[in-house]
Amino acid sequence: MSEEPIEHPQPSIQNLDRRHLLGLSSWSAAEIRLVLQTARRFREVLERPIPQVPTLRGTTVAMLFFEPSTRTKLSFQLAASRLSASTLGFSKSGSSVSKGETLKDTAQNIEAMKTDLVVLRHPSPGAPHFLARHLDAAIISAGDGAHEHPTQALLDLLTMAGRFETFEGLRVAIIGDVAHSRVARSNVFGLRALGAKVTLCGPPTMLPPRPEGFSREGLPDVRTTSALGDALDGCDVAMALRIQLERQDEPLFPSLREYHDRFGITRAHLDAHPDLLVMHPGPVNRGVELESAVVDHERAIILDQVTNGVALRMAVLYLLAGGGGAENQAAEKSWA
């Protein structure tokens, strides 16, 4: 099932008045719309025979990954390359971190090689905020502990925007290990900024103890339920989350089988909800949060999410490098 082009309103701002992307908790609907609109334009670039533009030639992006990653790391690398930026790759394993070098020292040494943007994935919540206080480079969070994963949420929003004409009133259920999920937190902030209705669903042990921690000032609290049927009733998008065993200090449910029986999305759910779309940030545990047949079903748009991740990360790199401002409007002509 391919995406149909849908006309969305033009964003009301032209450029981001921000230095960093650390999380979505304070991002406005206008800022999010600008990123999505810019990503749509880059998606067109990616469909060209030569999917590359010179827009960020001379810019250097450092990729600092202190945790494993497939999708985020590779799509940021590809996004930088499609924009003609240079990249510096860093993984914790094989680096001087094993010799005792701190995050701050590591990052400052990499910045001393003249990097303009730093993409950071780190197990500690707040690590990107810490670097933003100590580096001149623009910092982009690629996921910090169980805190936020803003570019994942933005690519999820981009994917939903390709399927629905408006976020106003869109009903999205986020299902699974919500309490430990940085993806859930960033999605709640983004979805609710745009007017979607969000239900969080999972075993009571996996729901946030203080759902108000997912709230934005001035917006109503999120709805929570431990009944999957209740969450899927009238729902437009079911976003399943991976069970994050690595972030659980003790088992939060009796067995994976029992979890699947109560919270796994199955073919039967798709048959009962003929318009329901299924999303997942990956990596998927087949047979746990999603029945294997659901992963491969045409209404599972998981690979669209991955495809959109490249254009979305191009948009984030471009806008945080100053794109949209007067200086870059000439550069834009090179790919418009």
Question: Which of 139, 59, 55 minimizes the C-alpha distance to 328?
Answer: 55
Contact 86, 61 (CB under 8 A): yes
The single residue among 11, 15, 51, 69 that binds ligand CP, judged by CB under 6 A, is: 69
Q: What does DSSP say about strands 86-91 and 171-175: parallel, antiparallel, or unpaired?
A: unpaired
Q: How far is the CB of 72 from ligand CP (least distance, A)?
A: 3
Q: How far is the CB of 49 from ligand CP (least distance, A)?
A: 28
Instruction: Give 205's contacts (C-beta < 8 A, 6+ positions apart).
Output: 179, 252, 253
How far apart CA 193 and CA 186 sit, in angstroms, is 11
With CB under 6 A, what is the number of residues at the site for ligand CP?
10
Nearer to ligand CP, 63 or 179 (CB): 63
Q: How far is the CB of 58 from ligand CP (least distance, A)?
A: 27
Q: How far is the CB of 271 from ligand CP (least distance, A)?
A: 27
Residue whose structure tokens are 């999380």: 23
How far apart CA 75 and CA 314 sit, in angstroms, is 9
- 323 near ligand CP (CB under 6 A): no
Q: How far is the CB of 268 from ligand CP (least distance, A)?
A: 26
- 211 near ligand CP (CB under 6 A): no
DSSP states of 181-244? -HHHHHHHHHHHHTT-EEEEES-GGGS-S-GGGG--TTSPPPEEES-HHHHHTT-SEEEE----
Q: Is the dihedral of CA 100, 68, 55, 128 positive or negative?
A: negative
- 71 near ligand CP (CB under 6 A): yes
Nearer to ligand CP, 29 or 74 (CB): 74
- 77 near ligand CP (CB under 6 A): no
- 171 near ligand CP (CB under 6 A): no
Contact 226, 203 (CB under 8 A): yes
The single residue among 162, 203, 281, 324 that binds ligand CP, judged by CB under 6 A, is: 281
Q: How far is the CB of 196 from ligand CP (least distance, A)?
A: 20
- 282 near ligand CP (CB under 6 A): yes
Nearer to ligand CP, 60 or 305 (CB): 305
Question: Which of 204, 200, 208 minimizes the C-alpha distance to 238?
Answer: 200
Q: Which two tokens stand for residue 191?
A: 């979805």
Q: How far is the CB of 279 from ligand CP (least distance, A)?
A: 11
Listed ranges 65-73, 109-117, 171-179, 221-229: which one lies at the site for ligand CP (CB under 6 A): 65-73
From its phi and psi, is residue 52 left (phi > 0), alpha (psi between -120 and 50) or beta?
beta
Between 133 and 152, how does the x/- string for binding to ligand CP read (CB under 6 A)?
Answer: ----------x--------x
- Residues forming the site for ligand CP (CB under 6 A): 69-73, 143, 152, 281-283
